[in-house]
């Protein structure tokens, strides 16, 4: 990949794709292509083929996916597995057929065995059962990552995968039905503050632990790997630290300035108890995260208020 390569960012309106686009623009990549979901339906093979035949990108960042929080993953399991399998199969095949030599596939930390009490290494892959609340999504992501391996080995292209932890930042989804925990709680605390509500509902027991990475750090790591890493491995991308959902909620309450109480809703599931990623493989390549959770939450709160008032 060089500054004049034609680079297609799939999913450029979403949390991850928009961060990739920002990072590419900032670093001076000047031949970027993208399409909105309305302009290009990636689950439709003929549309994807036509797009690749026309544009013939040199590099693809595949950040288009159907994603969502714990409830959405359980409620829409069929859509999660179908849409993700279709998108990635269509994009990888059309990319290869039209001469794309480099592709970065966005995996997920949910590909790993659930309830790991210690930080998960890349070598823990397939070493135990998946978390039930998102196994359909996880299987699709595993297929995507394995597809990269297969295309690389059979066709000699450089298609690699990364496994990001839970992400947050600009262009997140704040719809409470399908949001992930961080944007959901930020919105709930914000609205409770505005309406002087005495309580905020936090799902589950508050005891599961999660790790959160500011999405601009993820984009930075992805560009770093595509430019500097020439090997075949896949990489965990995280910040290396986790905290309980209760601690996260307290921190969000502090950033938002909410003075009321949290009420834990035991009718909602906890999901896996822990999924911290071990990022030593990534650190060995010379990359480290820059944005602390508190700083990232402050930035996100500013941005969320603008995004909510614009919607």
180 binds ligand GDP (CB under 6 A): yes
The token pair at 149 is 């391996």
Residue 174 is among the residues annotated as catalytic for this protein: no
Binding-site size, ligand GDP (CB under 6 A)? 19
Q: For 57-82, what is the HEC assignment?
A: CCEEEECCCCCCCHHHHHHCHHHHHH
What are the residues facing 44 on neighbouring strands? none
Query: Does residue number 270 form part of the binding site for ligand GDP (CB under 6 A)?
Result: yes
End-to-end Cα, the chain, rounded Å: 36
For residues 4 to 43, the per-residue mask of contacts with ligand GDP, x marking binding by CB under 6 A and - elsewhere, is ----------------------------------------
Rounded to whole angstroms, how far apart are CA atoms 205 and 202?
A: 8
* Inter-helix orientation angle 293-310/181-194, to 10°: 60
Closest C-alpha among 90, 106, 130, 262 to residue 189: 262
85 binds ligand GDP (CB under 6 A): no
Span from 14-22, 29-37, 174-182, 215-223 in contact with ligand GDP (CB under 6 A) = 174-182
Which one is catalytic: 96, 112, 137, 168? 137
Nearest distance from C-beta of residue 128 to ligand GDP, angstroms: 17
Is the CB of residue 37 less than 8 Å from the CB of residue 13?
yes
x/- track of binding to ligand GDP for residues 118-137 (CB under 6 A) = ----------------x---
294, 255 contact by CB (below 8 A): yes
Does the CA dihedral 223-225-228-231 come out positive or negative? negative
Q: Is 164 in the site for ligand GDP (CB under 6 A)?
A: no
Contact of 117 with 275, CB cutoff 8 Å: no
Query: Which of 11, 14, 17, 69 touches ligand GDP by CB under 6 A?
Result: 69
Q: Determine if 169 is a binding residue for ligand GDP (CB under 6 A).
A: no
Residue 208 touches ligand GDP, criterion: CB under 6 A: yes
The 211-250 site mask, x for binding ligand GDP (CB under 6 A), equals: ----------------------------------x-----
Distance CA 243, CA 104 (A): 29
**Positions marked active-site:** 137
Which positions touch ligand GDP (CB under 6 A)?
Answer: 69-70, 134, 166, 179-181, 184-185, 202-204, 208, 210, 245, 268-271
């Amino acid at each position: 990949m060089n500054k004049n390569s034609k680079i297609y960012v799939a999913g450029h309106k979403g949390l991850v794709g928009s961060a990739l686009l920002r990072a590419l623009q900032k670093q001076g990549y000047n031949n970027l292509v993208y399409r909105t979901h309305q302009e290009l339906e990636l689950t439709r093979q003929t549309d994807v083929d036509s797009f690749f035949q026309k544009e013939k990108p040199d590099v693809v960042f595949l950040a288009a996916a159907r994603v969502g929080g714990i409830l959405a993953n359980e409620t829409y399991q069929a859509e999660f597995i179908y849409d993700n399998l279709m998108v990635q199969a269509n994009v990888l095949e059309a990319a290869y057929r039209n001469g794309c030599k480099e592709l970065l596939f966005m995996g997920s930390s949910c590909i790993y065995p659930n309830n790991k009490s210690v930080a998960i290494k890349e070598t823990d892959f397939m070493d135990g059962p998946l978390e039930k609340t998102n196994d359909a999504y996880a299987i699709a992501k595993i297929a995507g990552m394995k597809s990269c391996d297969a295309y690389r080995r059979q066709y000699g292209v450089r298609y690699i995968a990364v496994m990001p932890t839970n992400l947050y930042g600009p262009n997140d989804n704040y719809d409470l039905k399908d949001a992930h925990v961080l944007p959901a709680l930020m919105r709930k605390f914000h609205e409770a503050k505005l309406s002087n509500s005495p309580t905020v509902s936090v799902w589950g027991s508050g005891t599961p632990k999660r790790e959160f990475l500011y999405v601009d750090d993820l984009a930075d790591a992805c560009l770093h790997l595509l430019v500097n890493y020439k090997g075949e491995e896949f990489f965990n991308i995280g910040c290396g630290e986790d905290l309980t959902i209760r601690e996260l909620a307290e921190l969000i309450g502090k950033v938002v300035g909410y003075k009321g109480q949290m009420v834990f809703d035991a009718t909602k599931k906890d999901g896996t108890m822990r999924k911290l990623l071990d990022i030593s493989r990534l650190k060995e390549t010379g990359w480290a995260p820059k944005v602390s959770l508190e700083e990232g939450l402050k930035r996100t709160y500013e941005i969320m208020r603008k995004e909510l008032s614009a919607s």
